[in-house]
Chain A
């Protein structure tokens, strides 16, 4: 199953709720302001790193680059382009968008 998060983790609890409700093997894709969840060294980074033991975390490269944080992404988070986003929605049977 694919989970998407599009809100900043510093202004909204969507990322936290998402990470609390993901099953082993799920995919989490950070998009729009949700990509700030991929920032290394932030106050939510430890929670994201802990989740990476059981889920695969992706971030949309266009949104990461627009925000100037491409060189600060947590190691192990996979950057995907728009085509990769489409692939994830096809590969996964369901999508839960944490708006």
Chain B
């Protein structure tokens, strides 16, 4: 296997209104399949991608939000969420999907994947990556 790189997927668009969120998720799964160090950042309207309680039955669209909860099984364990974006939208972390991963080095303990970050922390997070992909 070739070298592992640090990838950050920056998600800034609401789901359903455009195809960005779904496309990002597809590329995240590809990155994870190639055993890269994959991290996700949700900011601006991107925080709506991981809102819980999404129900697309009436609209007839595909509800792809359950896929986010499966990412822990693909060793995607870091989902950064911009605090300010949540506040502007009247949301808290309790309004988000319960995103967790199992730590096999810690007797498969379930751990939170969501990490709330400030804008300053996002700046540092972007700087430490090898690759940044924008959606």
Contacts and interface: CB of A to CB of B under 8 A. Distances in A.
A associates with B: yes
Contacts of A61: 58
B89 A42 contact: yes
Contacts of B16: 32-33, 63, 66-67
A10 B56 CA distance: 22
A31 to B, nearest CB: 10
Contact of A67 (B18, B54, B57, B88): B54
B48 interface: yes
Interface residues of B, number: 25
A67 B15 contact: yes
B111 interface: no
Contacts of B18: 33
Contacts of A6: 17
Contact of B55 (A10, A11, A65, A72): A65
Contacts of A40: 90
B48 A43 contact: no
A71 B90 contact: no
A32 B45 CA distance: 13
A66 B45 CA distance: 15
Chain B interface, DSSP helix/strand/loop, else mixed? loop
A65 B59 contact: yes
Contacts of B58: 61-62, 65-66, 81
Interface in B113-131: none
A40 B95 CA distance: 13
Given A68-B52, A68-B54, A39 B61 contact: no
B69 interface: no
The 6 closest A-B pairs by CB, nearest first: A41-B90, A33-B17, A62-B59, A62-B58, A68-B51, A68-B53
Interface of B: 14-18, 44-45, 48, 51-61, 63, 65, 88-90, 95
Given A36-B45, A62-B60, A72-B90, 8 more contacts: A6-B17, A8-B14, A10-B44, A43-B88, A61-B58, A63-B59, A66-B54, A67-B54
